[in-house]
Structure 1
Amino acid sequence: MKAFESVRGLVGNTPLVELRSLSPNPGVRLFAKLEAQNPTGSIKDRIVLRILESARASGALAPGQAIVEASTGNTGVALAMFGRLMGHPVEVCVPESVYPEIEQLLLVYGAGIRRVPRQAGIKSAREVAKDISRETGAYYLGQFDSPENARTHYETTAAEILADLAEAGGVHALVAGMGTGGTVSGAGRRLKEANPACHIYGVEPRLGVHVQGLKSLEDGFIPPVLDEAVLDGKILVGNRHAFSHARRAMLAEGIFGGISSGAVLHAGMRLAGRMTSGNVVLIFADGGWKYLGTDLWREDDGDDQPDDGEDPLDDILWW
């Protein structure tokens, strides 16, 4: 087994696992990209490490300089760990709606926490982080703004997917959460270059619904990183299906994914039911252990059973 010089070497090269029991269509194969295998347990390790290394290399981030960022969870945790590892004090601006485990992890890694009212959400948290940067000279990470975000997924996430499915016929569709927009934009662009017929779908919560790790564009904030031209459509998912399908992944396949992973699974299964054949890749952005304090893992009137009914609120919206 290869020995790594530091935990940085563990970022990326996450496994792609087929969900054999969950595809509703025998002609469609579902594959989950398990990003919980990254060091802090989420896909955000990829972009945080890339942004930090790029900023250090360019001189934009000086040794020992403080870093500030806005986050609802995973980016903040990744920044807290990698920032500390690289010798930077970290402050994370978080909406009060984040799960308690996220704040606990931030504190464990030594990050400072600046709370923003729940109603203000990530848009206001981002403005607060920018204000702190201007007032104190802290480096603003800017996950929603940095071109390194999408570039990371173009160069790593998509490249890994293409390599893993090269002998299985390639990729015909990608389903990923609409958080910063970096995954669908960067990975989606690379997959479309490899196969112009590949379809890219972003998953977002319905307006007013809080699904951890996902953002609704209808809430009025479109991340600068997002390239909507890459998307073929978006799929709206509510909390009920996000939670129930996270449980289904655990019970049917033994995959302990987070809430956004459940949302992506629900969307992917709906998409598979509309296809005749092909390989669909689902980005499982993080693991379920960060959400053990929620109702995610409780029995809920058989909600983990197959969902054969159509729910127009959870359907695809085409451009």
Structure 2
Amino acid sequence: MSYMTIEDTIGNTPLVQLKRIPSNLATQRNNIILAKLEGNNPAGSVKDRPALSMILAAEKRGQIKPGDTLIEATSGNTGIALALVAAMRGYKMTLLMPENLSVERRQSMAAYGAQIILTPKTGGMEYARDLAEKMQAEGQGVILDQFANPDNPLAHYTGTGPEIWRDTNGAVTHFVSAMGTTGTIMGVSSYLKEQNSQIQIIGAQPEEGSQIPGIRKWPEAYLPKIFDAARVDQVISVSQANAEHMARKLAIEEGIFAGVSSGGACDVALRLAETVENATIVFIVCDRGDRYLSTGIFPA
């Protein structure tokens, strides 16, 4: 008898309809808002998909082999996902992340056996990325580089996008995603646009001064190489306050315990639903809310 492995549980996440949060105006306009629950992946986020994709592809090309050390700069979710895949495929994992990110993320990485190097919060992800490059140049390991690796968006082109198309029976009209590494929005956009070029792809970015884990507006020099602006029809800004408020509201009114970037994407999807008609709007719930408990976003 053949049994599943933990690897087989990555992907095919639920797509669920919001029932209580959408406004009366959105409902009157005959719009449906659907949440893609990526927190149901085994390491708890949408990043499980590219983590598996990048490691398997690097193995196939002969770039890495079990026992090697992998290095990655991460704001959290990719690091946790890489730590999971490294654990199940026999790699050492070194992760660099800014010191101000939530303790739950660090503890999750450590639970999978990863070594964690904290970088100064003042340097942000840019400093972490530069340090990872320096370590690779010194021979301390191999960077998979989620920001430039085409196997990142490929995971969403072959998985997330087809699942959304399948589970909406091709009815999806709008796709909303937080923009960080941009792998999710790039891969899903490529697939959905091939099925129906009229589908609108909307990216959520933080307002000036807002710091939302998982959503970034990169300086030009650090813009992910996998990003292609032509694949995004519209970029809508969201404030940190609105993202946090919507994360709480998702839990309280819909029973969806999600992280802050998911709250941001939901906020954008809800605003969009008040401006369009007869739409099926899908947004990505990137991860679970329990990853943010120490931040005070969900006060006891």
Tell me if both proteins adopt one fold, taking TM over 0.5 as the criterion. yes
Partner Cα separation in structure 1 for residue 264 and residue 220 of structure 2: 18
Q: Give the SS at the match of 2:175.
A: strand
Partner of residue 265, structure 2: 264
User: Given that residues 51 and 149 in structure 1 are in contact (C-alpha distance below 8 angstroms), is that contact kept between their aligned partners in structure 2?
Assistant: yes
Cα offset for 1:258? 0.8
The answer to whether the aligner puts 1:40 opposite 2:43 as a matched pair is yes
Structure-2 separation of matches of 1:263 and 1:42: 16
Matched, 1:126 2:129: yes
Partner of 2:201: 200
Give the 5 Å matches for 1:1-319.
4-24=3-23, 25-26=26-27, 27-166=30-169, 170-217=171-218, 221-298=222-299
Mapped to 2, the partners of 1:112 and 1:185 lie a distance apart of 30
Letter of the structure 2 residue corresponding to residue 63 of structure 1: P
TM-aligned CA deviation for residue 3 of structure 1: 6.7
- Does structure 2 retain, via aligned residues, the 8 Å contact 1:30–1:280? yes
Shift of 1:294: 1.9
Task: Count residues with an aligned counterpart.
Answer: 296
Deviations 1:262-316 (Å, cap 9, x if unpaired)?
Answer: 11111110111111221000100000011111222238xxxxxxxxxxxxxxxxx
SS in 1 for 2:172: coil
Q: 1:28 to 1:3 in 2, by over 3 A?
A: farther
Deviations 1:184-236 (A, max 9, x none): 11101211111111110111112332101111135763111111101111111
SS in 1 for 2:273: helix
Closer/same/farther in 2, CA of residues 46 and 4 from structure 1, 3 Å limit: farther
Give the Cα separation in 2 of the matches to 1:208 and 1:143. Answer: 25
Secondary structure at 1:90's aligned position in 2?
strand
**Alpha carbons of structure 1 residues 133 and 200: separation in structure 2 relative to 1, 3 Å:** same
Change (3 A) 1:256 1:129: same
Q: Partner of 1:67: helix, strand, or coil?
A: strand
81-90 vs 280-289, which moves further:
81-90
Distance 2:127 2:195 in 1: 38
Q: Given that residues 207 and 218 in structure 1 are in contact (C-alpha distance below 8 angstroms), is that contact kept between their aligned partners in structure 2?
A: no
Contact 1:17–1:33 (CA under 8 A) maintained in structure 2: yes
Secondary structure of the structure 2 residue equivalent to 1:236: strand
Q: Structure 2 CA distance, aligned partners of 1:202 and 1:4?
A: 38
SS in 2 for 1:120: helix
| CA RMSD in angstroms, aligned pairs only | 1.5
Unaligned 5+ residue runs, structure 1?
Answer: 300-319
TM-score (norm 1): 0.89
Q: Deviations over 1:123-149 (max 9, x none)?
A: 221111111112125110101110011
SS at match of 2:294: coil
Does the CA-based 8 Å contact 1:211-1:239 persist in structure 2?
A: yes
